[in-house]
Amino acid sequence: MAEQYFTEHGVSDSMNAVAKLAGVGPGTLYRHFPNRDALLAALLQARSDELKARRDAIRREVHDSTAVLAQWLKALGHRATAFNGLPEPLRLALNEGSSPLALTCQGYVTISEEFLSAAQRDGSARPTERGKDLFLNVLAIAWVREAALADEMSGGALENIMRAGWAT
């Protein structure tokens, strides 16, 4: 029910509204998920098989390190837009070790670093770039896609700018 609620209403509404949709009291929801980050982490973990399958397919099917990194960042960007408003809690969790979302974010950064390192070894990515910064760029682009001033071309344009920044 929480996934349905966040899909329809975004992640910024009250936890009480999520509880109401689920047909439980707020206390019941908070006993299982003490805060929004814990609930979001559980939802993202439940959907992690999709992203793992995409990561594995990229590893198996794509042999150019630049294309691998670009496809991973695209898949990660898709994940960051799973729910309206998701980029902000992910960004905040990245530097908060105590957030339940921190482990999720660190996993995304680690995989990004793995693909970035391969591109750096091949000379197709700048040696000064970091996986964490690529992840933050993905979140920024996801945020822009949701912004009122963005149009259907904004996300793709920003992806091209980001890629031009990390590619040699």
Q: For 44-68, what is each residue's pLDDT tens digit? A: 988 888 899 999 999 999 999 999 9
Q: For 93-119, what is each residue's pLDDT tens digit? A: 988 878 889 999 999 999 999 999 999
The pLDDT score that the predictor gives to residue 67 is 94
- The answer to pTM > 0.75 is yes
The pLDDT score that the predictor gives to residue 49 is 87
Q: Is 167 helix (H, G, I), strand (E, B) or coil?
A: strand
Domain boundaries 48-166, corresponding CATH code = 1.10.357.10
The pLDDT score that the predictor gives to residue 66 is 92
- Alpha carbon 106 to chain centroid, angstroms: 11
Within 13 A of 78's CA, how many CA atoms are on the CB side?
12
Query: Looking at 25-29, 51-55, 89-93, 163-167, which range is the least confident one?
Result: 163-167
Q: For 65-82, what is each residue's pLDDT tens digit? A: 999 999 999 999 999 988
Q: Identify the residue with better confidence: 164 or 132.
A: 132
The pLDDT score that the predictor gives to residue 148 is 62
Contacts of 19 (CB under 8 A, 6+ apart): 25, 26, 28, 29
Q: Domain-by-domain residue ranges, the chain? A: 48-166
Q: For 117-158, what is each residue's pLDDT tens digit? A: 999 999 999 999 999 999 999 998 888 877 766 778 877 778
The pLDDT score that the predictor gives to residue 151 is 79
> Mean pLDDT for the chain?
89
The pLDDT score that the predictor gives to residue 141 is 87
The per-residue b/e assignment along 68-93, b for 16 or more CB within 10 angstroms, e otherwise, is bbbbbbebbbebbbbbebbbebbbeb
